[in-house]
Amino acid sequence: MATHAPERTGLSAPYTARREALATYFDSTAKQAWIDLTSDVKVSGIRATVRAGREQMRRTLVSWLPTDLRRTRLLDAGCGTGALALEAACLGADVTAVDVAGGLVEVAKSRATGFIGHGKVRWRAGDMLDPAHGEFAHVVAMDSLIHYSPDNLVDALEELSERTSGSIIFTYAPHTKLLGAMHSVGKVFPKSDRSPAIVPVAESDLHARLSRLDGWRIGRTERVSSGFYTSQALELVKHG
């Protein structure tokens, strides 16, 4: 089961509640589906489009990192079953890979057995915002902030920015008519019948909120759409 970090000053109750809901969901209801999705086993047509979209997004995020990450500390914030962490380690990174779902972290560890590369990976179950993880040159958060409100999303990025010296690369769910409608419809179902909702965010609203991160600027951005998968990558770069 997931190991949860102690509560810290600055974390809001909605963030904590959503984090706990995600841990429960991905360690129980969705665990096997997520294992299948991130492997090469045959999946449904819908899930195949999601798999393809996630693979394209992962390639995009890794391509935004320096090609030589030797002796460079990187946080994979929401590592899931570990594919991105291992790719970064292949570039030489010293990776801390953390996920709130302890069961998925165990899967990641097993998949990393026999890994040979210039870098290394430390697997952790818990809160990606825990300051005990240390300081990093780069942070990557692929599809791990998409379940949080815009306020909580930017709060999380602000916390991470205080311990990051180079770049923060993350994804969010862009507000489209389809995602907006799905989000609204999903709210009418009982909580027991639905997964934690993805929260669409308007690009202009997010950019305005990010302006409060002193010393950071918005860099590259790219949208990946593949069937039922739509996600927007965004890069934050430290000034100077």
Give pLDDT, residue 11.
61
What are 203-220's pLDDT values in tens digits? Answer: 999 999 999 999 999 999
> Which amino acid would we find at residue 17?
A
**Residue 129 above 90 pLDDT?**
yes
- Whether 221 and 201 have beta carbons less than 8 Å apart is answered as no
Reported as a pLDDT band with limits 50, 70 and 90, residue 41 is very high
- Whether 108 and 82 have beta carbons less than 8 Å apart is answered as yes
**Residue 180 above 60 pLDDT?**
no
Q: What percentage of the chain reaches a pLDDT higher than 70?
A: 87
Classified by CATH at the fold level, domain 13-238 comes out as: Rossmann fold (3.40.50)
Number of C-beta neighbours around residue 102 at 10 A: 19
**Residue 116 above 60 pLDDT?**
yes
Q: What percentage of the chain reaches a pLDDT higher than 90?
A: 79
* Domain regions of the chain by residue span: 13-238
What mean pLDDT do residues 69-77 have? Answer: 97
Give pLDDT, residue 13.
87
> Residue 48, SS3?
helix
**Of 4-18, 102-116, 148-162, 175-189, minimum mean pLDDT range:** 175-189
Alpha-carbon distance of 77 to 57, in angstroms, equals 15
What six digits make up the tokens of 174? Answer: 């862009």
Give pLDDT, residue 224.
97
What six digits make up the tokens of 162? Answer: 């205080």
Give pLDDT, residue 172.
97
Give pLDDT, residue 178.
63
**Residue 2 above 50 pLDDT?**
no
The dihedral region occupied by 215, where left means phi > 0, alpha psi between -120 and 50, and beta the remainder, is left
Alpha helices in the chain (DSSP H): 13-27, 31-37, 45-63, 83-90, 102-111, 150-161, 177-186, 203-210
What six digits make up the tokens of 124? Answer: 């952790």
The model carries a pTM of 0.89
What are 144-165's pLDDT values in tens digits? Answer: 999 999 999 999 999 999 999 9
Alpha-carbon distance of 147 to 153, in angstroms, equals 9
Sequence-separated (6 or more) residues with CB below 8 Å from residue 119: 69, 70, 88, 89, 90, 91, 92, 93, 94, 95
